[in-house]
Amino acid sequence: MENISKQSYKQNYTDNVELSIFNCGHEYCQPGHTWGPGIRDYYLIHLVVAGRGTYQVGGVSFAVQEGDLFLAKPSQLITYAADETDPWEYYWVGFNGACANRLVQQAPFKDNCPVHHCQDAKAAQEAIYNIYLSRGPEPQSEALMTGYLYLFMADLMKEAQAMAPSLGSSSSQYVLSAIKYIQFNYSHDISIDDIAKAVGVSRSHLYRVFMGNVGQSPIDYLTGYRISEACYLLKNSNLSIAEIAVSVGFFDQFYFSRVFKKIKGVPPSKYLAALEKNPQL
């Protein structure tokens, strides 16, 4: 790998709506080099391979060092800065797509801790660098880049799975299983009874463990997840509102619009109109 200050690639267009690379690269940062505060409209993962720095998201600062990964989600206000005396060197990959959120949900990052110490930093470094080496606008290059991204995320999922026994009580495991079931089945006509059956608990017990671990009911989580996916499709697809409703598990467009307005404050048509004026929403 060449010892130059920065290597980067940005994808300007893609036909792959399931999972696509937005950008990737490698940088030796200057002391105090800072990005932000600002937001991204895609998922962004950095791997620090040397040095130190800080990452701030949601008003909380995290110290980041060699071997750490840090995650930025779309629309989060973030700032990251290299240390003044020991500036970091990092690799990064930015990506989005219809299944991006599901992949990230199975990685070892947590909402209250978007930094994860990588168990095999060398393999993660090679995976991200292979994405960069495969860069190009040709279909075969895009397929290679996406393939390496899947391999990178698969390794992170393994790390998350290895950490699972330390996550706490059996109740948290039921919640994790239920969330995973929702992520893979939200587009279908599933009920809370279906989720409880898949997890192996009663409906009432599922409600109790969700309230205790997530702070909301299973139906509220399912509904919120569906609306979140709908927002992504409104922003990143050419589907009609009716088609999006069906795609995220609502088979009555009018009911979908009512639920969407309740959660987002505006109906999907106005949300879409606002996106056209300000794509960064």
CATH of the domain at 25: 2.60.120.280
Amino acid letter at 146?
Answer: T
State the pairing for strand pair 20-28/6-10.
antiparallel
The answer to whether residues 159 and 202 belong to one domain is no
Q: Is residue 22 part of a domain?
A: yes
The answer to whether residues 115 and 249 belong to one domain is no
CATH of the domain at 216: 1.10.10.60
Per-residue pLDDT, 112? 80
Per-residue pLDDT, 247? 93
Q: Is residue 194 part of a domain?
A: yes
- Tens-digit pLDDT profile for residues 32-57: 999 999 998 899 999 999 999 999 99
Q: Is residue 203 part of a domain?
A: yes
* Total of domains in the chain: 2
Q: Is residue 257 part of a domain?
A: yes
Domain with 66 in it: 6-164
Determine the Cα–Cα distance for residues 219 and 163; give it in Å rounded to an integer: 27
Per-residue pLDDT, 80? 96
Q: Among 111, 131, 164, which residue terminates a domain?
A: 164
Beta bridge partners of 38: 78
The answer to whether residues 29 and 151 belong to one domain is yes
Q: Is residue 224 part of a domain?
A: yes
User: What are the residue ranges in the chain where pLDDT is below 70?
Assistant: 1-6, 8, 10-17, 163-170, 277-281
Contact indicator for 193, 179 with CB cutoff of 8 Å: no
Determine the Cα–Cα distance for residues 217 and 207; give it in Å rounded to an integer: 6
How many CA atoms, within 13 angstroms, populate the side-chain half-sphere of residue 162?
9
Q: Is residue 160 part of a domain?
A: yes
Q: What is the separation, in whole angstroms, between the first and last Cα of the chain?
A: 37
Amino acid letter at 261?
Answer: K
The answer to whether residues 51 and 126 belong to one domain is yes
The answer to whether residues 160 and 245 belong to one domain is no
The answer to whether residues 225 and 95 belong to one domain is no
Q: Which residues of 132-158 are buried (b: 16+ CB within 10 A; e: fewer)?
A: bbbbeeeeebbebbbebbeebbebbee
The answer to whether residues 196 and 96 belong to one domain is no
Q: Among 95, 129, 164, which residue terminates a domain?
A: 164
Q: Is residue 1 part of a domain?
A: no
Cβ contacts of residue 190 below 8 Å, gap of 6+? 182, 222, 249
Residue 167: DSSP 8-state: G
The answer to whether residues 160 and 257 belong to one domain is no
Helix (H, G, I), strand (E, B) or coil at 13: coil
Cα–Cα nearest to 109, from 145, 64, 43, 156: 156
Determine the Cα–Cα distance for residues 46 and 25; give it in Å rounded to an integer: 10
In the block, tokens 């290597």 appear at: 7
Q: Among 136, 164, 192, which residue terminates a domain?
A: 164
The answer to whether residues 136 and 176 belong to one domain is no
The answer to whether residues 210 and 257 belong to one domain is yes
Helix (H, G, I), strand (E, B) or coil at 147: helix
Contact indicator for 250, 259 with CB cutoff of 8 Å: yes
The answer to whether residues 201 and 259 belong to one domain is yes
Per-residue pLDDT, 18? 77
The answer to whether residues 147 and 198 belong to one domain is no
